[in-house]
Amino acid sequence: MSIVNTLGERIFIQATNPWAATIPNSSGTATVATTDGLQHIACSLSANSNSIVSRVKSGTLGRLAARRGRRTGRFSVTVPLQGSGTAGTRCDADALISAIFGHAGTVVASTSITFALTATNFGLTIWKFRDPAGTNIWNEVCVGGLVDSWEITFGEEQETELTVSGPCVDVVDKPNLASLVTAGENFGLTSFPSEPSAPTFLGTPALAFIGAITINGVSTFPIQSGRIYGTMGRSARYAFNSYSASVPINVERTLGFDFSLYEEDTANQAALRYLSRTKGTFDSTLVLGNVAGNIHTFTVNNAAIDAPEANSGGAESILPFTGTASITNTAANDEIGYAQT
């Protein structure tokens, strides 16, 4: 009996830009490499064949067997938020971050990498290799991934984590690839590759409680915890004569910044609570990390917050604020920006 060791799992991520419903390959051979390796905390790849239920009357009270319909797929990946350790050098998670913002960041050598929101679609190919490397071990690859949702939490005594998830065209597995080649559902791949050997990783994760936060021009709020998040409105639709989605589409996105404060008797907190009443907007800056090469700065523009309902069940009263960012004008894509330095 073999045992599948979850701690032996590794993932490798390739960028597909512009987005395409294929697996990066050279004449059918995967191009995944050691340099695509990424440290991760959790990775879920899933796909399902829809069922088309027959409407034909069977002559009995039974039901005829369903037919196979189209394929749907999703992925979710949680990784530590960490820079490369060198300012201006792309980090291991660069493909994930690029897929959030829709483009590869702008590099200033030895200084920074900056990301601004775009309406374009940056694709992902996510490889998941498991231990042991047997013939029927369920190694998988996510095809044509689109980041729809993402979240970063802060304030807790832990390393900062980034979680991304979204739809994909399909998830192809190692044991069944030979059959899929025959069926023409291999997305360009003729054989499942072996795991690239000895991946190396850059940098160390930022701590979730070290940094600086400015809210509505105030940098001294007593912050307990919070998150920065986005729902990007990305999906893929089907076209005629295909079992798999083949066209990426975009709808309205929602980005926000939620935070909880220890309640205090201050004019700054009173002003913030008044903004929740009037729906006045304000800007914020969130900095996670304080070591060069591993500093992550998020700018949140035109945020409006809901009125907090104080949580008084613990030793101190906590004010949880939920905020949603907005563009500064009709031609802008500037609710949230991000920089690594």
Q: Quote the tokens at residue 135.
A: 């013939």
| Those residues with Cβ within 8 angstroms of residue 265's Cβ, 6 or more apart along the chain or in another chain | none
Q: pLDDT, tens digit, for every residue of 191-201?
A: 999 999 999 99
The type of residue at 80 is: P
Q: Quote the tokens at residue 26.
A: 């050279």
Mean pLDDT by 10 residues, the chain (341 residues): 80 95 95 97 95 93 93 96 96 98 96 96 96 87 98 96 97 94 91 94 96 97 97 94 92 96 97 96 97 97 95 93 95 95 97
φ, ψ of residue 196 to 5 degrees: the values are: -60, 140
The type of residue at 86 is: T
d(CA 154, CA 13): 25
d(CA 85, CA 220): 28
Reference 171, options 34, 77, 65; nearest CA is: 77
Per the CB < 8 A criterion, the answer to whether 302 and 325 are in contact is yes
d(CA 291, CA 204): 10
pLDDT at 1: 58
d(CA 326, CA 203): 33
Q: pLDDT, tens digit, for every residue of 225-252?
A: 999 999 999 999 999 998 999 999 999 9
